[in-house]
Amino acid sequence: MTRLNVVLFVALVFSGLYLVRVSYEARRLFVEVERAQSEERALETEFEQLQLEKRAQATPLRVEKVAREKLQMRTATPAVTHYVTHAGATDAPQAASAAAPGGQP
C-alpha cells in the first residue's frame, strides 16, 4: 500500500507542477494578446490619421497650388496653345529629305 501512496504522491506533485506551468504560460500568452491588441489599436489610429492626411493633401486647391508653385504650371490660354497639324502624304517625302543629312533620302 505504501508503494501506491508514493506513486500517487509523485503523480500529485507532477500534476501540481504541470498546473503551475500551464497557468504561467496562459498568463504570459494573455499578456501577449493584450499587447498585440493594444498595438493593433495604435496602428489603426495611425492609419486613420494617415488616411486623413492623404485626403487633405489631395484636395483640388492644394493640387493646383503645388502645380503652380513647384511645377510652374499655368492655365492653358489661346495665347500659349500650340496646334499641331498632320502633314499630308505629299509632304512626307519632303520632310524626310529635309531631315536626312545632305538633303538626299
pLDDT in tens, 12-66: 999 999 999 999 999 999 999 999 999 999 999 999 999 999 998 888 888 888 8
pLDDT in tens, 74-87: 887 777 777 888 87
Q: Taking the CA atoms of 73, 76, 80 and 86 in sequence, report the sign of the dihedral they define.
A: positive
Contact of 60 with 67, CB cutoff 8 Å: no
C-alpha cell, 41: 489599436
Q: How far is CA 46 from the centre of its chain?
A: 13
- Residue 96 CA, distance from chain mean position: 49
Q: Residue for cell digits 504561467?
A: 24
Is the entire prediction scored with pTM above 0.75? Answer: no
- What is the gyration radius of the CA atoms in the chain, in angstroms? 40
